[in-house]
Structure 1
């Protein structure tokens, strides 16, 4: 298939992946990392206005994740047999991927935060451990709310195995339009937790629809429209600082959709395909997403003040810290997350008679 390659995790799962989409995973995780690192940079007296502007909208990396998740869910399920066994196989692998990637960093965060004097008694540790809560202030790793949403989305995808693939495509279109209309009816109003969830579900559905209509994205003229749409969406979102509400979905959510679309067009038209090393960073995006909060606690407690002795050390040291975070995430993915996932899949297979 044109534009598809296999990274280590895809080779294990048997699912080919667009290299440009894999690279976007890494970009999205890095955006979130920078967003949460920005307060540390400001506390150091950081002087880069470019970085500050970029990091200020880094939360929008989560929107990119949801669009990619919908795209990948469609990629890995729509051509499968529509049976209960296939549904359970999909759900089992997704659940194992999320929990086995999450629990080691939950344990690490618990240790680091306890040693750093955090008030752990105020947190919902049980809900955090089982990803059963989206109450961000009470989560140990407060980015884990998005994993709870992912689990729900994957449950919905598993349920679609009860329908033929063509019917699923129709249902995805109808759900996208109905939910999008419901969100538009709330324009300018604070969204309830239910509507916040539905907003991210719309992004997930948008990614699935992008996969369904991928065959039309082979012409290079889509690149011009895509670049313009990405620029306008992110410019509007940044100018309004659209951190929540329907406006976030309409700006950063739309921007995420067009960004993934651009990645697909670039690859399918063979205009540009991400190098395998760069695309391989996408495999470690989940690790970086979970690890970076722990790294920031360590940085704030043991590194930050030492870098403020002069402006050159401050700037260089901070950006080296970001690079080290990415490199460490890649290493932990290869040495911890991927082997653990491989072991779990092998252990879950029924023994041969």
Structure 2
């Protein structure tokens, strides 16, 4: 079992907080100061998450007994908290209808097909069904990354790297597609940076293939991603993981908050933007740095407290259930 890397936990919380405060300020006019400038770059929390996911999910796939073992745990890792967050969005929408007489929050699914797509994370960018929470589009990328890793597990270990190389070549050669079947290509290099980082540290028997995989994705990232600092963020995230592998960070309060990062990610839009966003419409909050900063961090504190509850009551039980089910699968196959 690979020892826990606490810099990853710290990065997960930092990325979740960065994205959250970015979204807190998306609905108000931009003011040129150091605070708004830094959090205007909060979208860079997404590549941090993708790189970390590449690293951690690939590690989990190596530790899984088989492909079924892997996918069951991943599904139970991502979906129960996601479904709970949908309920939260629904409650906020009901509150909006009761208080304002209309749904001013999100475009709701209008058909059984749209509802099914929402429940199964097959919304935008996989399909034209709109998302009801600003962050859900990234979970669709995450889901399809799980699928590609699942397929990789069906390939013998020594040939598995060629599966990742083939996807990476596709991301290098083909243009970005916004919808099925190639929507995933644009962000594959950031996930694969995480895979390569893990392989360079722990799978040294295929060093030259790992270097080839890294090289392809460096060019793919440069070729595809057009957002400022996206590529640099992927590289810095990988370097921090590598450094902490050799110089481990001790567990601390900040790194412990990483456990709550997924819940923070899911809850911050419905609670802080949809429900409490009216505070940001106050002119004084918008124009005074200290007031804006104070409100944002009060919101972040509230979301973190709620996320702690969600982690222990929704997320962790579903993770434990996944472990129990896969242990049952293992026993039945012995």
Q: TM-score range with shorter-chain normalisation? A: 0.7 to 0.9
State the shift of 1:253 in Å: 4.1
Pairwise CA RMSD of aligned residues?
3.5
State the shift of 1:48 in Å: 7.6
Corresponding residue to 1:207 among 181, 194, 197: 194
State yes or no: 1:297 paired with 2:287.
no
State yes or no: 1:113 paired with 2:93.
yes
Measured in 1, the distance between the counterparts of 2:293 and 2:63 equals 49
Mapping of residues 326-345 of structure 1, within 5 Å: 326-343=304-321, 345=323
State yes or no: 1:160 paired with 2:152.
yes
Match of 2:70? 90
Alignment deviations for residues 124-157 of structure 1 (CA, whole Å, 9 cap, x no partner) = 2612222121158821113112212211211121
TM-score, scaled to structure 1: 0.73
Measured in 2, the distance between the counterparts of 1:161 and 1:118 equals 44
299-308 or 103-112, which deviates more? 299-308
TM-score, scaled to structure 2: 0.76
* Number of residue equivalences: 301
State yes or no: 1:261 paired with 2:252.
no
Unaligned runs of at least 5 residues, structure 1: 6-17, 218-232
Alignment CA distance shift 1:173-1:105 (3 Å)? same
Measured in 2, the distance between the counterparts of 1:316 and 1:137 equals 36
Alignment deviations for residues 159-208 of structure 1 (CA, whole Å, 9 cap, x no partner) = 112222221123323432x134225xx4xxx7543554201122212211
Alignment deviations for residues 60-84 of structure 1 (CA, whole Å, 9 cap, x no partner) = 2112211111111221123555xxx
| SS of residue matched to 2:276 | helix
Alignment CA distance shift 1:111-1:252 (3 Å)? same
Corresponding residue to 1:31 among 18, 23, 27: 18
Alignment CA distance shift 1:104-1:54 (3 Å)? same
State the shift of 1:307 in Å: 7.3
Match of 1:143? 135
State yes or no: 1:181 paired with 2:172.
yes
Match of 1:67? 51
| SS of residue matched to 1:39 | coil
Match of 2:108? 123
| SS of residue matched to 1:88 | helix
| SS of residue matched to 2:26 | helix
